[in-house]
Structure 1
């Protein structure tokens, strides 16, 4: 996961946290977090990048809607990231 941008990492976390993550739902979650608009030209190429890296899968919900899911590799990467963050910051949140 070290080679992901912060935005791509955020995408991975959002995909992992939503029940049925599709582009618009992911976009809305990120806009709530960033408190600004996330453009399609930024969102979809970055989703495609993390699909290519094998961290999420991309499927079709219907003819117009792609749905994303976390792969086992993506799950392992998120767990490793969480462990790494906790190594440095866990005591801040106790």
Structure 2
């Protein structure tokens, strides 16, 4: 996961939280977080990168709509990232 941009990491986390979201659902969620418009030219190339890296699977809902699903590798990468973060970020209970 070290080779992902912050945007790609956020995109992966959002995809992991949904059940087979489509691109527009991911876009809407990220726009709420970033408080700015996410253009298709930014969203879809980054989704394609996550698919190429084996972190997401891409499937077809219909001829115009794809869905994305976290892979086993994607889940392992998120878990490893969280373990690494926990070494540096202490959360007081």
Q: TM-score band (shorter)? A: over 0.9
CA distance in structure 2 between the partners assigned to 1:80 and 1:20 by the alignment? 22
Match of 2:74 in 1: 74
Match of 2:44 in 1: 44
RMSD value, Cα: 0.9
The range that moved more, 14-23 or 3-12, is 14-23
Displacement after TM superposition at 1:62 (Å): 1.1
Displacement after TM superposition at 1:63 (Å): 1.2
User: Would you tell me which structure has more helix in proportion to its own residues?
Assistant: 1
Match of 2:62 in 1: 62
CA distance in structure 2 between the partners assigned to 1:21 and 1:11 by the alignment? 11
Match of 1:28 in 2: 28
- Length-normalised TM-score, structure 2: 0.96
Which segments of structure 1 move beyond 4 Å, counting only runs of 4 or more? none
Structure 2: segments with no counterpart, 5+ residues: none
Structure 1: segments with no counterpart, 5+ residues: none
